[in-house]
Amino acid sequence: MISTLTKETHEKLISHLVDIEDKKDQLIEEYFPNPSKERSEFKELLSNYLNKINLLIKNVSIVEAAENDFPFVIVGSEVEVQDLENDDAFSFRIVPPFQDTLGSNDVSILSPVGRNLLLKKVNDQVIIKAPAGEFRYQIKSIKLNQLS
Which amino acid is located at 61 in the chain?
S
Which amino acid is located at 54 in the chain?
N
Would strands 133-144 and 77-83 be described as parallel, antiparallel, or unpaired? Answer: antiparallel
**How many Å apart are CA 5 and CA 62, to the nearest integer?**
5
* Tens-place pLDDT, residues 98-111: 887 788 899 999 99
In this prediction, residue 148 carries a pLDDT of 52
CB 49 within 8 A of CB 119: yes
* Tens-place pLDDT, residues 13-68: 999 999 999 999 999 999 999 999 999 999 999 999 999 999 999 998 888 877 77
pTM across the whole model: 0.88
| Residue 73 banded pLDDT, cuts 50, 70, 90 | very high
Q: Strand pairing partners for 82?
A: 89, 138
Q: Strand pairing partners for 63?
A: 6
H or E element in which residue 53 lies = helix 37-58
| Cα R_g (the chain), whole angstroms | 15
In this prediction, residue 22 carries a pLDDT of 94
